Amino acid sequence: MRLFFAALIAVFSTSVVQAQTIDRILERNEIRLGFRSDAPPVSFQLEDGSPTGYTPALCVHVAQGLVNVLQADNLEVQFVEVDASDRFEKVASGEIDLLCGVATITLERRALVDFSIPVYVDGTSVLLPTTAEEDLRTLSGKRIGVRRDTTTDRTLSQKLASAEIDVKTTRFVNHEAGIIALEKREIDAYFADQSILAGLWMSSPRRNELKLAREIFTLEKQGLAMARGDADFRLLVDGILSGLYANGTVRETMEKTIPGLVPGPGLTALFMLAPEVD
């Protein structure tokens, strides 16, 4: 591990420090980390406005790795709240250096930004009244909800169409509005990433009237988004993450921030396939 980070320091202290993101960070002596405030337990905001959850906590370790490799002990870390609709644009414009929220890696998004190695595996599931059946076909003719501007919205529409399941879809501006609509029975089901639904279900005052489906309808790899085409910064972040996988920090952070998490096949494979550190 020490040899690995020593090699990184040697590389980034010579010719490759000309990379755009690294230059920007060193010039303003600050790294800006974007985070979602509405995706518990993976990324959300406390009442005092501070970020919390798995990916913000993981990014604190990444930031410390950047401080070590760039030898910038006075580097400040600033968290910036982002929305599902503007998060990638803020990365592309340089407003934030690294997106530490919930971000599924897709080819469409990679046309705008780059991603780190995967840091989480999630999938679309559904929150339902306790009396409802979990078979998607029983939703035909009913009302469902989803957050707009998400991969869940797009992939769910495709899945329902291919299965010839006709529903009336309401697209909400945030998850809280969707859950309130479900609690009031204005919709019959609410779809989102399973981790997000778990957090919303746990905090719902009508938790006993709702249930989280056991099935995951999609399998989505999630990573930290950064500026497209900045290979040096991506290598630096991936190297730090690989070290965090190797020393157990990723697993420890996940278990601490998502209590009761039982890794399924996707998460198990994620740890097995994490890049090795020489």
Yes or no: say if 189 and 124 are a contact pair by the CB < 8 Å rule: no
* Tokens 């938790």 found at: 207
Distances (CA, A) of 127 to 37, 138, 215, 216, 275: 20, 14, 11, 11, 34
Summarised one tens digit per residue, pLDDT across range 95-140 is 999 999 878 899 999 999 999 999 998 888 899 999 998 888 899 9
Report how far residue 117's alpha carbon sits from residue 167's, in angstroms, rounded to the nearest whole number: 36
Q: What's the token pair of residue 229? A: 């085409």
- Chain center to CA of 95: 18
- pLDDT for 94 equals 93
The encoded tokens of residue 241 equal 């993450």
Specify the pLDDT at position 14: 40
| DSSP letter, residue 47 | T
Domains and CATH numbers, the chain: 2-121+221-273 (3.40.190.10), 124-212 (3.40.190.10)
Q: Which residue intervals of the chain are DSSP H helices?
A: 2-12, 20-28, 54-70, 87-93, 107-110, 151-162, 175-183, 194-203, 231-246, 249-257, 265-273
CA angle 30, 32, 36 (to 5 degrees): 160
pLDDT, residue 203, reads: 84
CB 182 within 8 A of CB 145: yes
pLDDT at residue 13, as a whole number = 47
The low-confidence residues of the chain, meaning pLDDT below 50, are 3-4, 7, 10-11, 13-18
Tokens of 138: 């029983």
Q: Given strand 225-227, what is the order of strands in its sheet?
A: 76-82, 30-36, 98-99, 225-227, 113-115
Instruction: Quote the pLDDT of residue 10.
Output: 47
d(CA 88, CA 81): 12
The answer to whether the CB of 167 falls within 8 A of the CB of 146 is no
